[in-house]
Every structure is written in C-alpha cells, then in structure tokens.
Structure 1
C-alpha cells in the first residue's frame, strides 16, 4: 500500500533482494504483514470450479429454470406479433421467419452464450461487469483511482492463463490499451452504456411480458377491451414491485416448477399444432427460405428482424446469472429443457399461422387448443411475473455492482437472503422502476411498440458482450486468430445486422431505452467523475509525515479512552479531513483506525483476505490504517458487527507485525536474543491491551462528510456538474452512514469543503 512517506512503518519485501544474499548465505526473508495475510490463504475459486456431485449439478439445473429463463421463455408470447405488425403477405413468409428464429436461437443463446460466453466468467460470476473485470485485471486499464499493488495478492485476483502460450497480437493489444487514455475511457464508457441498457431491460421486460400474458384474456371475452388489459397489467406491476421488499428467498425452488410447467405446456402445444395444422413446416430448417423471404420482401424483411430478435431476449441472463449456479448446470437446463421447448413452441405457432395468417396479432393464445386455454392463461401470467421478477432482481444486482465501483450514488442495499448469495433489494430503485414500468405500459399500451424499444436494448447488450469477448479471446485466452475471425464474421456480423434493423425503429419507440440509458449514464458519469476528482484532491492534500509528528508532539491534544474508526475513501495516506478534525477537536481517542472501504475488480474477496492494515508512525499514537476490500458481488455480513470483525483482524495484524518485524527476524543473529524477545513481547502485549481497552470503552464512528464545490475560475460545464448535478444527487440520496449501517448514537460527522 503506498503511503505518505515516513508515516508508515518501513516496507518489508517478500522477495529476496541483493541484501538478502551475503557470502552465498541466505538471511531470513523479510515479510510484509500484508503479504503474509493474503499469502496465507488457500486459493479461492468460484462455484463453477468446485467438484460437484451429479445430484447437486442436476439440482442446480432445476433451480436455474426458475431464475434464468423467465425472459427468454416467455418470448413466444409476442415474437410473431412483433415480427408481422402489418399482417402476413404470403404463407411462405412464415417459413422464412421460422427459419430465422430457429437459426437465431441456435446461433446466439445456444452457441454464443451457452458454449462460448459462459467460459468468460469471473470466478463463477458473469455479466458486463465480469467481462470488464477480466480485462482490467489482465491489462492496466481501470479508471478506479484507489488501486494498490496488494490487490493482486488476493488469491482469486490472478487469471488462469493458457500455460506459457505467447501471442504477439495479445501483447500488442494489451500495450495499446494500457498506453491509451482514450481506450481506457472508451472501455469504461461502454461498460456504463451496457449497464444502463441492462437496467432499461429491467423496465421493459415487466411491461411487455405482463401485457402480453394479460392480453390473452381478450380471447375469452369480448368485454375485455384494450384499456382494461392495460389497467390490469398496471395493477399486476404495482403488486409485483410492492412485494419486492419481501425478498426472493428460495426463489429457485418456488419458480422452477411453474416455469417447468410453462415449458412443458408450450412444447406440448407446439407438437399438437405441428401435427394438427401443417407438419411440413419443419422444412423451414432449410435456410433457403430465409433467402426467399428477403428476396420477396426486401426492406420489409430487414425491418422485421427487429421483431425476430426478440426470441433471444433474456439470453444475457444465461451469463449474468451463472454465479448462482454452475456453467454445467446452465448448459444442462438449456439443452435439456429450454432450447427444445422453444424450438417446438415457435414451430407450432408457425404451423398454426400457415393455416390462419390473419390471426398473427394474437398468435400465441389463438393457437392454444380450447380445453387447455384457461390453464395456459394462468401459467402464462405466472411465467410473465417470474420473467419480470428475474429482470428486476438483476437490475438490483447491477446497481449494487455500479455502486461498488463508484459509478452510482449511495443507495441502500438490502440483502434479502442469508442463504442465497446476490439476492438484494434497492428501495429507491424499486419505486423508480415501478413508476417507469407503469408509465411505459400506460403510454405505449401495445406489445408491438414496446417490442420496438425492447429490441434496441437487447441487441446492444449482445453486441457489447461480443466486443468484450473478442478482446478476451485475443488478450487472455490467446485464441487462434482463425477462431476469432470466425466469431466476428458469423456471430458478430449477425448481431450487427439485427442492430441496424432495431435502430430503424428509433422513432417508433426505439428511442425509449436510449433515453433511459442517457439519463442513467449522465447520473453515473457525474457521480464517478466527481468521485475521482475528490479522490485525487485527497491524494494531493494528504497529511505529511511532519504533520503527523507535530500532532504526536502537541501537548494540547489530549487522549480520551475509546476506539475511533475514521472513514475515508483514501487508501494511500492520511486524509486531509483529519487535520481539519484535530484543529477543531483537540482530542484523540486512545486507538484510532483510518478505515477505507474499496472495491476490487473481482466478484468476491475471500473473508480472510478482506482487511489489510498499516501502522501509522510514531507508534505511541496507536494509529492504524485499514483497507476493507470487497468484490462487486460481495455480501457484507450484517449479523456480525463490522467493528468487531475489524478489531479482531487488527489484533492479528499487530501480532504478525511484531512476529515478522526486522528486529524479530534478525534476533537469531544477536547475542541478546532473550532481551530483544522480552522487549518485543512487552510491546506486543501493550499494543493488544490498548486495543482491547479501547474496544471495551466503546467505539465511535467518525464520518468524513465532504462538501465539494468547483474551484474559482472553473468553466461552466464543471460548475454545473459539481455545484448542481453532483450535489443534487448527494443531497437527495442516502449518506455513507446509511450505506454502511453505522449506528447513529455512535456516529460523528466531520465536515470539510473541497474545491475541485
């Protein structure tokens, strides 16, 4: 950990240096206590790397059906109606569209995500942040300012690279990214954009899924008008969001049976329709019908791609939710249940449309046989709610990741399950999502218009994933260039064609996810930009060693019993706000710990590698610096107080600091070994006793509450961003004390103004 010169105890390197070798005789190695802490822990790996019994894998595969596939599984509700908004011109057009659906489902969700992208998991976790994390850990492209050398010592930080395989292209690409500030900002910008689009999915999925399912009731009674369908859908959405605060504990076991019934229903109805209406529809396996479809319809066929791509909605969830399961369990559930059921469902609908092309606007429910209509309707509504639940929960996880990386304002993160990792609830975001969903449902009213908006969000995230994956294939996997070119030419070009189609419908609702993304990106950019400016200000104004010595020598500063935890974002020295505190409150607690909470670009940090410490010199001050490290998917244990865990780790650090100190290492060569050991033992017991007494006297939490303003002479853009946008977000959202669940009775805020 870099620090402020002589403020910290001297650095002790693990590796042998020239000074360790004298006359071919090795002296004892000098260890740094931080290296000891992180090096003493056995390797931590994600869930996917553990050897599991087949019974456990099959159990996870069953659970995954209830969590992962709600979105892609309910796509048959609206794909054909979105593809043919103006009706079917020729019966063979159905075969062309079916052929496109079959090959798109095979190429993107199955081949791309299940068999390729799932390999790019981050210690078992997936999603946009996982891809960005892998790239940041391999190449120095991260814009997070609080990076430290010790971060790479976390046992699951290092990537598993392919042997000694060397690639000139990989080295060249890595060098170019690391040396280009533009490239670093572009990667960060793309990550924010992809994240914003995923959050847009969280708004649009509940709207289109619930509206499509509820619309089926129109087939049972003519009294059910479009207005009533919209109002019923809005009511279901309100209930759905109100129940979010209860959490989704045991969600896999609860939802999996329902979705399993759903997949059985759509597969069975698909088989029935194929046999009953037109068995020859299976000739759509011949891609010639795709060529004929484009030849006959030309521009209209290209425009219809925006509806066809909706058959892949939720494919990103396969990757994003892999952290709750394993790669193998996701593959089993996809290949064994989901993919076959979807193929049968779309083929059955196409068979029905070959005989009834005039019913394309309500294809799904019109193709359901009468005797199973009501059971199908009930299961469809439940499946739509489950699909919505999955995307809403996913949005909460994305917000948590953004917050962890300093890209989102402080909001309260509530962990709703002690058994299932990653299940979180964000109250502020929940109600904003509810208002947005109701607004979209009431404003757009039909699935066709919402589908136009939905397509842009879906295809953009897929294209971004492919872009990141190509970087990973070249730099990290060092794949054969022919494989990379094949991926780009086949999958990449297909996604770009789909993207061009959905962008054509920009003025027909396609602008909606871009508006969402623009608003969210503005919020994220403002917060992250000012966050980094604040951090660099603190680095430039951190306290010097001389100032710390002045504080130690100042007889006007009294010491009071107790433990003080001084929170700051700075991990590279003593923050300037401490000087402000001492000048206004000339009293220091008997033990003072400067605490920094930081996030690493990995999904999880092992609990026993959570904290790293440094002693602040001079020793008589009893001052320490502590960095608490978390991954972007880590759950903070709220059952055990944070301060208790910190104190236990602090005492262990003190023991290790004495054990591996230079004096202790060199005492073996000293004639007065017993004397030195005795002195050190007394000092160790004195320091441990000081911490115990301070802990017993009570802990107080000192929060640095920094006000930020634009410096004099700043441009209008900078003033607007800092003085208005950032401070508006800060005042209207939660403070850091709420985020850390700090007890108000033992909290003191220390204010200071930073001119940035």
Structure 2
C-alpha cells in the first residue's frame, strides 16, 4: 500500500549533475547563509569567569569543542542520517511528524482522526499499513499520552524556528555592525551599531513583501565570496601566527578543558553551540533543493571554509590572548577592515533573510495543519513552491527583533538566548528520529537507541549549559515559548472541540428529506455551496437554517477543505466527490485535500473548477468506471482518469453583473429585484465565471447523465450562493480552570484573527452566515 500512498505525490524528475550543481549553488545563499555568519559572534560571545586572560591550553580546548561539534552535528547527524528521513522530498519537524502520523495512527489533528481515515485514504493506502504486527507500533498507537507528547514536540520545534526568526537577525546584523565601530569609527560599543542595526532590520523586514525570489540571485554570490574570504583569512592567520594550531583538533584538549570547568563557567559551552546555528535549515529547506545538492554545498564549500576560519581565528588568538572575547574583526588585517565590514553586513543580511523565510514556511505549515491562528499567507513565487510571505508574522518578528536588540544591546546575552533555541530544536529532532528509524526504516531498537544516546548525550550537555545562562538572556526564550505554545495549543484545543461538537450534532440526509412535507420546504433555482469541516453527514448549522427558512437550492454541494499529512497533493488527485442520498435529490459532497506545503486559496476560479469536476463525476459515474453509490461516506477521486473525456466543456464568458444582487429571468430577460428577506437569503448571485456546455458527443451518453448535466448547467446559470457556519462559543459550566482558559484564548483568537479561508473571495451579497452556538 505504501506504493499507492507514494503515488499521491508529484515525484521529482531524475536529477542530472547540471541540476545538482545549480541547486548546490543556490543552496549556499538560502540554506547556509545562517550557518556561514556564525564566526562573527562565536568567540565574541564567550566569557569565562572570573574575568581573566584565557590560556593557550583553554583556547585549544574551545577550538576542539567547536571542531567536533561542527563535525558530529551538521556533518554526521544531519548530512549522513537526518536528511534521509525526508517526507517525499520535504524536511523539517513537521515532515517527521507527518511521517509518523501517516505510518502510525498517532495524529491528533482533527482531520487525522481514525473516523476519517477510510474516507480520505481510499486511494492513498492505509496510514498504518506498514508492519502492523510490530509491538512497538501497537504500543505507540494505543497510548494517547504518547500522541499528545508527539504533537507537543512538533509544536515546540515550530516555536523554536519562530523564535530563531525573532532573535537571530538581531544577533547577526548587530555582530556585523559592531565591527564598524571597532575598526572604522573607533567609538563606544553600541553607540553606532545599535541604531545602524535597527535601520538595517527595519529595511530587511520592509522588503519581505517583495519575496525572496526578487533578490535571491544576489544571495549565493555573497555567501560564496564570504566563505572564500573567511576560509582564505583562516589560512593566512594559520601560517602567519601559529601553524601548530592543528594539534588542537585532538579530542584530548576537549577533555582537558572539561576538567578545568566549574559550575560558574559551565554556561560558556552555550557559546560554542552558536557555531552550528542554522544547521536545522539543511533539513528544513530540503523541499526547495535536493539531498545531493545540500550535501555537496556543505561538504565542498561550507564545512572546509568554516573549519579553516575557526582554526585561523584560534591561531591569531593564541598569540594575542588579550584579544579573546573581542570582535571577529580583530583577526582581520587592518588594511581590509572596510571591505570586510561591508561584506560581513551583507552576509548577515543574507543569513537573516534565510531564517525569516524559514519562519514564514513553518508558520504556513502550522496553519495548514490547524495548529496556528488564521493569518494571511501570500505566495511570492509562482515557480518555487513553499515561498510565502505572512504580513502579521513579519511585523511581529520585526518588533521582537528591535525590542530584543534595544533591551540586551549585548552579543553575549543574545547568543545565550539563541543557543537555547538551537539546541532545543536539535533535541526535538533527535527525539523523533529513533521513531523514524524503528517504525519507518524497520531498523532494530538497538540502532535507534545508539542514535538517541550518541547524539542526545552531546545535545543534553549543551542544553544544560544553555539553561545555566537562564538569567543571562535565555529567559526570554522560555517566556516566548510559553506564550507561543499556549497560543498554538489553545487554537488546536478549540478547533478540536469545535470539530467534535460538529460530529456529535450532525444530521443525516434522510432527516433533511423527511422534513420536506411537514415544513413545506421548496427547492429554488441555483447552486448552493455549503462549507463545512465535516466529511460525512450534514452540519448542524445547515439543518438550523432549513428549519428556520424551509428552502434550499436546486443543486446542493457540501464542500470541505481537508489537510492530510503529506507535503503536496497533485491537482488531479485533489478533489474527492461523492453523491449524498439518491440521484434525484442532486446533493453532492466535494472534499478538497491539500498537503501542509500546498498553496490553498479559494480563488475566483474555484467555482469553475468545482463545476467542472462535478461534470466529470456525473459523466463517469454511470459509465461503469466508478463503483460509487449513494451510500453516505463514499467518495471518489475525480481528475486522474486522463483517458475519460470531461462531462462539461468550459467556454469563457463575459462579466455577468459582478456582485449585482439581482436575479435575471432567462426566459424574458426581465430583471427583478428580490426585496423579500426569505428570497434574499436563498436566491443565488451572478458572478464573473466560465460558461459550460455539454460536449458534442453528449447524445452518446445515457439519457440520465445528460439530464443531470443539463440540470447542473441550468442551476449554474441561475446563480450561486454560499453558506457558512458562524460560530459563537460558550464555556460549559463545571469546566476546570485550564480548559476555561484555553477556550477563552481560542475565543479571543477566533474573534480577532482572519475569517475562514473560503470566505475571502466570496462577494458579500452571495455569502450567508448561519449562527451556531457551541457549548464547550
């Protein structure tokens, strides 16, 4: 079944060496911009207590820590192991979580519930098909506590990326700007660097709406020049100051350094961690590139340049111990201070842009999976999927960057905060990978345990060092994490409770049809689109509408947007259409599936696409190609049978009184304005659209199919109306304080965030919201 599941994705074409080298070049500007500027602040953020000149032996110990950390974490862990755990080419924390959700029933998001698995995965294969007899899998699936733990880890990993985007640009640009004070202006620390950094950060965030692809062509050359510069500078310092510095790569110096550390100096290890900040981007940005391109870029360019840079910086400091803790520019020859400062600022801007773009991408994934309050998402590139801009998040990040910069005004405190962000995100990946190794790769528990112990012990060491700096800047990460986690958990909790309430109060089509004679319900011309989160049954708000206004449209279509734990779904596999009850009722259900990296937007042509898909469904249903019936819950994929001719042919049509609330009588052409409240709620509205006609071979179709297609066209010509539920929440009496607080936060977010995505492009005169009271 996994082969069927994997067929859901758009497989990349076979990669040529030319494409690989091109992607490697591009990855240097997008993936490694963050990691490449780390030398600006690694040694500068270190401080040992008491304040004394560091010895050469201790300096070698620090270099040994940097070298082996850079080798074990980015190179061994990510390049050789973690990159293999991609979700059909996508990486990041949510990619790991989606893999576990798809291959073991551990998902807690509403659309991952077991009740929907059969309906949504008929053609995709079972989410839990692989090795169901596994004892470990059964244990994971049977314990709900484990499910909540996995979701919490995925959310916490997303929070770390967001916080990195809020603080790292301030540290990178401030470190580069500080070199201007020391080398050129010779003024007190912070007097120029802070205002200059604020101006650069404001300009950087203001440019975000234009999209990364607008200035992306400049990124890779800047990073390449920067890497060549710091690599060459490292070689110069090695041969000029101390060519014996290579001895420091021996692990014994690391051991000797650990013996001299006390509790007061334990926090200095967190500064070493900054040398690998940005390593998560190699996995998180995997969807934009490929494994080969990322490996080539790191192995042949980034890793050797960084190692030479740190060796050269140590060689210089070993002969100038009084310069320890100063800016990176101190080891740069004075004759090139000016060009170096300009290049450093440009490189820091590139690195900041990479993490900001990554933050937008993570928030978009959380939003698609129902774990983040609704915000506006703008796709900035038509050619590259996943390039997004989120205005609300952009301005919040800018505010946090400026506040943290002005509040700390110190590289050391900012470095302590970012160190905690980096190591927490890496620990989460380390915790999720053993599950991937055991459940997906089918390796033994011993191999998974070796991975967890070897890398987990290293990262736990750094994590303890970061926590020891809680009062030296790391406290801001704890506060931001609590705020973000509580916000995301509140939204998830409220969304889940709302979904459960809808499930418990849904009604069947039989109930609806049985009310017809008693209520005097009538069918009016036109098509009614009813948007609902449910994929089975009729939502309570629609039954409430029918009871109060006993009339509904000639054709009804229940539309649901459903996120599934995959990155992308091709357009020809996106629509699932089924029939609700018997044919003569003309009631359909359409489920639009999308992945967590898809561009989901109810565009102006959505109605045209849906009518076209309905025509395909009607024309193929009675031709022996589908086994669908009127049984509720049975749907079929429409659009992947390329050998079948469409049931309807689209023809461009001129504007038809866009947004005009009048109804046009097709027989006599008279325009009659509907002032009555009942009919104004029911009568559809004309919109600019594509006109459909029956294909020339329609006489060869069965008479029932032609009749149903013609009725669909007639209803479309009459106009379209849209119905949505408008929810109002009340906390149930007797709920404990935590649940009340979660619901109150959800209510606040629901009222102050953007409305449902499906309502954004619908004319107000065509939209009807039906109020529903949720008692949670």
Deviation string, structure 1 residues 165-221 (Cα, Å, up to 9, x no partner): x798xx122111110011111111111111111111111111111111111101211
User: Structure 2 regions of 5+ residues with no counterpart?
Assistant: 630-697
CA spacing shift, 1:141–1:693, aligned 2, 3 Å: same
* Match 1:727 to one of 723, 747, 769: 747
CA spacing shift, 1:182–1:489, aligned 2, 3 Å: closer
Q: Give the match for residue 60 of structure 2.
A: 95
Q: Give the match for residue 638 of structure 2.
A: none
Mapping 1:57-96, distance limit 5 Å? 57-84=20-47, 86=51, 88-96=53-61
Counterpart CA distance in 2 for 1:107 and 1:224 is 39
Mapping 1:582-661, distance limit 5 Å? 582-636=546-600, 641-660=605-624
Deviation string, structure 1 residues 89-115 (Cα, Å, up to 9, x no partner): 211211111111111101000110111
Counterpart CA distance in 2 for 1:261 and 1:57 is 20
Mapping 1:355-754, distance limit 5 Å? 355-553=319-517, 556-636=520-600, 641-660=605-624, 681-722=702-743, 724-737=744-757, 740-754=760-774
CA spacing shift, 1:559–1:108, aligned 2, 3 Å: same
Asked if structure 2 preserves the Cα contact closer than 8 Å seen for 1:658 and 1:680, the reply is no
SS at match of 1:659: coil
SS at match of 1:704: strand
* Match 1:274 to one of 225, 238, 241: 238
Q: Give the match for residue 19 of structure 1.
A: none
Q: Which deviates more, 738-747 or 468-477?
A: 738-747
Counterpart CA distance in 1 for 2:586 and 2:593 is 22
Q: 1:329: Cα distance to partner?
A: 0.6
Deviation string, structure 1 residues 697-755 (Cα, Å, up to 9, x no partner): 33222221111211344344433332x31121111111115775434343222221111
1:148 aligns with 2:117: yes
Counterpart CA distance in 2 for 1:687 and 1:314 is 57
Asked if structure 2 preserves the Cα contact closer than 8 Å seen for 1:87 and 1:357, the reply is no
The normalised TM-score by structure 1 is: 0.88
Q: Give me the CA root mean square deviation.
A: 2.5
Counterpart CA distance in 2 for 1:156 and 1:245 is 39
Deviation string, structure 1 residues 367-422 (Cα, Å, up to 9, x no partner): 11123222211111111111111111111111111111111111111111111110
Relative to total residues, which structure has the larger helix share, 1 or 2? 1
Q: Which deviates more, 692-701 or 415-424?
A: 692-701
SS at match of 2:597: coil
Counterpart CA distance in 2 for 1:491 and 1:316 is 14
CA spacing shift, 1:369–1:160, aligned 2, 3 Å: farther
Asked if structure 2 preserves the Cα contact closer than 8 Å seen for 1:552 and 1:618, the reply is no
Asked if structure 1 preserves the Cα contact closer than 8 Å seen for 2:526 and 2:555, the reply is yes
1:109 aligns with 2:74: yes
SS at match of 1:702: strand
Asked if structure 1 preserves the Cα contact closer than 8 Å seen for 2:621 and 2:628, the reply is no
Counterpart CA distance in 2 for 1:374 and 1:657 is 72
Deviation string, structure 1 residues 330-353 (Cα, Å, up to 9, x no partner): 001010111111111111111111
SS at match of 1:571: coil
Q: 1:589: Cα distance to partner?
A: 2.1
Q: 1:289: Cα distance to partner?
A: 0.8
Counterpart CA distance in 1 for 2:262 and 2:322 is 21
Q: Which deviates more, 177-186 or 287-296?
A: 287-296
Q: Give the match for residue 215 of structure 1.
A: 178
Mapping 1:4-403, distance limit 5 Å? 43-45=7-9, 50-84=13-47, 86=51, 88-146=53-111, 147-153=116-122, 155=124, 171-219=134-182, 220-223=184-187, 225-299=189-263, 302-403=266-367
Counterpart CA distance in 2 for 1:140 and 1:87 is 56
Deviation string, structure 1 residues 12-33 (Cα, Å, up to 9, x no partner): xxx9xxxxxxxxxxxxxxxxxx
Q: 1:157: Cα distance to partner?
A: 8.1
Counterpart CA distance in 1 for 2:155 and 2:602 is 29
Q: Give the match for residue 668 of structure 1.
A: none
